[in-house]
Structure 1
Amino acid sequence: MTHPGTRRPGEARERETAGTLQRERRGAGVTETSAREQRVPGAVAERARAALGSLPRGEARAVQALLAQGSDVIRVSVSEIAAAAGTGVGTVVRACQSLGFKGFQDAKIALTQDLAPLVGERSPEHIDRGDRPAEVLAKLAASSAEALSRTPVSVDGEALARAVELLRAAPRVLLLGVGTSSPLTQDMAYRLLTIGISAEAPSDVHVQHVRARLLRQGDVAVAVSHTGSTRETVNAARGAHEAGASVVAVTSFSTTPLTEIADVALVAGGLETRYRVEAMTSRLAHLVVLDSLLISLVLAEPERSETAQKLLADVLAEHRF
């Protein structure tokens, strides 16, 4: 039996070896920057495999699950890797940090760019280095159209209807999102106000968390996150859940820390590419999902929406020539 504060046999060696790996990674071309600069296919993955023997069992399983994804690792979430490895999300993150990465997101980007060319025929948009701007535009438009066409298939209809009912009855709605998801939440909060629903989308993450904890039963928090594993968004959503509010998640992955908290998960998003991480196609898909919620609310409460729209028209008239 190991007493509290007593290190298990071999733990010191494992920590020393992991530390050596991180130092080697910084000095021998395994850093994120140098790996991307050198473009030596398989270098990062090979060193990760070499480190398996020096990692605790749980972390080693997490690394193996990560490597098993190959270049498609860019399309999986941290929760999916944890499930595949039979470990927790925290173990996956620690495993990535033991390899010298900042965290899971940093690791999967480096591994993806290590195992596949930055651009080329494998990318969903088939963009080549010699493409002219007009060709890039056409290919991206086609890719976005494809992502939008998949949205009705990926979003569960019953979940969407449930989200509409929660929002319809909510005294207050709080929109949560950071980074590239933040503009979507700002837009949605404003548009909800224009149909008579009290909504807000604080831009500061601390304010988001505080507002989430101040919600009550019947209120709704709508959390928008491509990965579903952004710490600030997940923490605020958890605060809303603990306060008794319902949580609606709009995300690109079905198994994430955010969907584990959410009462309703609306999953839609474009595939990430090897050179456009968190691509705009995902934002477009999320925007369509949010728009469908808005229009459904207008149809469900036409009188409330019409009254608010008239007031909005009067206000806007004062700001236009």
Structure 2
Amino acid sequence: MSSPINLQIKSLYEDFSPKEQAIATYILENPDKVAHSSISDLSTELGIADSTFFQFTKTLGYSGFKDFKLALLKQENDLSAVTIHENVQKDDSVLVMAEKVFDSNMKTLTDTRKLLKEADLNKAIKLISESRRLYFFGVGGSEIVATDAYHKFLRSPIPVGHSTDYHIQLMEASLLTQADCAILISHSGKSKETIHIAEAAKKAGAKIIVVTSQANSPLAKLGDVVFISISEEIEFRSEALASRIAQLSIIDSLFVILMFNNREQAQDTIAKVRSVILEIKEK
């Protein structure tokens, strides 16, 4: 498997059944024990049938438990890092809380970087570079990431668009064409609003780039290219705290690559933006 097993499990976790989530949690919390135990011992401890654990490994893409265990042994050192970052505790000092937030963000970036694939980056840049217009879509907390992306890509040679209003986003998506590209951001990948936007954009023929934390989410299945952001969030998972940092970094990466690939045009666009902003600052 090209991706570390712990990151693979996290990206699929929300789509697992309750039994599968119990197995996944056990693997994440006890990687060393799983790597050195038999399937019978593990199944007994979890109170499940051997076949249930076996089927779970097949869900992850392995031929069976032996294949999974071999891959786990190879990645044992990486998996042991899962338990390093604990949740913020009530008795933690404010400094310790802040340090844990920083640790979580840094681990999120490291984990997300491991999932980046050159083929995906090349394909996304090609779609963006060849698009007539590039639109950014996101709802709720993801709208903040979309706005940041729009603000950034205004400096690129590609015409861009973004609205903070959901209904306007939906209208914009419906007016896209085969010559356009849409980047949709959603932590869960299950936001009905964002899915509706993606469906409208796809129906219009636009190319779709998705940034999400859930690899098997409905939104991810609509993407021509999908980037996965991984985070350690547990208690505040729905708030997508650390994953936002990873999503911003994915967007930053696409922006930098695009600008370097179109250096002359990019320099001209940046010069125009800097010139008009400088005029305001000097008054």
TM-score, structure 2 length as denominator? 0.70
| Counterpart-to-counterpart distance in 1, 2:170 and 2:176 | 10
Residue in structure 2 matched with residue 306 of structure 1 by the alignment: 267
**Alignment equivalent of 1:286, drawn from 247, 259, 270:** 247
Match of 1:251 in 2: 212
* 1:215 counterpart = 2:176: yes
What is residue 27 of structure 1 aligned with on the other side? none
Which residue in the other structure is 2:144 paired with?
183
Does the 8 A contact of 2:187 with 2:240 survive in 1?
A: no
- Aligned pair in 2 of structure 1 residues 64, 218: CA closer, same or farther (>3 Å)? closer
Following TM superposition, by how much is the alpha carbon of 1:278 offset from its aligned partner in structure 2, in angstroms? 3.3
Contact 1:269 1:286 survives alignment (8 Å): no
- Structure 2 counterpart of 1:318: 279
Letter in 2 for 1:65: S
What is the TM-score of this pair, normalised by structure 1?
A: 0.62
Note if contact 2:85-2:100 (Cα within 8 Å) is conserved in structure 1. Answer: no
Q: Partner letter of residue 66 of structure 1?
A: P
Q: Which has the higher mean CA deviation after the structures are superposed, 209-218 or 150-159?
A: 150-159
Aligned to 2:209, the other structure's residue is in SS state strand
| Equivalence for 2:42 | none
- Once the two structures are superposed, the pairs formed by residues 96-115 of structure 1 within 5 Å of their partners are none
Distance change >3 Å, CA 275–CA 216, structure 1 → 2: closer
Paired letter, 1:142: D
Can you give the 5+ residue segments of structure 1 that lack an aligned partner in the other structure? Answer: 1-62, 74-83, 85-121
Overall identity of the aligned pairs, in %: 28
Q: Within 5 A, what are the aligned runs for 1:126-205?
A: 126-205=87-166
Partner SS state of residue 250, structure 1: strand
Determine the C-alpha separation between the residues in 1 that align with 2:23 and 2:147.
Answer: 34
- Residue matched to 2:18: 66
Residues 268 and 275 of structure 1: CA distance in aligned 2, closer, same or farther (over 3 Å): closer
Give distance in 2, aligned partners of 1:264 and 1:150: 19
Tell me the distance in 2 between the aligned counterparts of 1:209 and 1:71. Answer: 39
Alignment match, 1:272: 233
SS in 1 for 2:219: helix
The 1-side partners of 2:278 and 2:196 are apart by: 40
Tell me if the contact between 1:226 and 1:252 (Cα under 8 Å) persists in the aligned partners: yes
| Runs of 4+ with deviation above 4 angstroms | none
AA matched with 2:217: T
Tell me which amino acid in the other structure corresponds to 1:208: Q
1:242 deviates by 0.8
Cα contact 1:220–1:247 (8 A) shared by 2: yes
Cα distance in 1, alignment partners of residues 16 and 176 from structure 2:
41
Instruction: Tell me by how many angstroms 1:64 deviates.
Output: 9.7
What is the match of residue 78 of structure 1? none
Note the C-alpha offset of 1:68. 4.4
Q: What SS class does the counterpart of residue 186 from structure 1 fall into?
A: helix
Quick check: 1:175–1:201 contact (8 Å CA) kept in 2? yes
Given that residues 229 and 256 in structure 1 are in contact (C-alpha distance below 8 angstroms), is that contact kept between their aligned partners in structure 2? Answer: yes
- Match of residue 232 from structure 1: 193
- Find the aligned partners of 1:250 and 1:270 in 2 and give their Cα distance: 13
Residue 218 of structure 1: how far off its partner (Å):
1.9
Number of matched pairs: 212
Q: Look up the SS of the partner of 1:318 in the other structure.
A: helix
Q: Secondary structure at the match of 1:160?
A: helix
Instruction: Name the aligned partner's letter for residue 172 of structure 1.
Output: R
Give me the whole-angstrom Cα distance separating, in 2, the residues matched to 1:72 and 1:131. 28
Contact 2:85 2:103 in 1 (8 A): no
Residue deviations 1:259-286 (CA, integer Å, cap 9, x gap) = 1111111112213312443332100000
Give unpaired runs (5+ residues) of structure 2.
1-14, 26-55, 57-82
| Alpha-carbon distance in structure 2 between the residues aligned to 1:123 and 1:271 | 11
Aligned Cα RMSD in Å? 2.1
Match of 1:32 in 2: none
Pairwise CA distance, 1:71: 9.6
> Higher RCO, 1 or 2 (CA under 8 Å, sep at least 6)?
2
Residues 171/183 of structure 1: CA separation in 2 closer, same or farther (3 Å cut): same
In structure 2, C-alpha distance between the alignment counterparts of 1:168 and 1:64, rounded to whole Å:
36
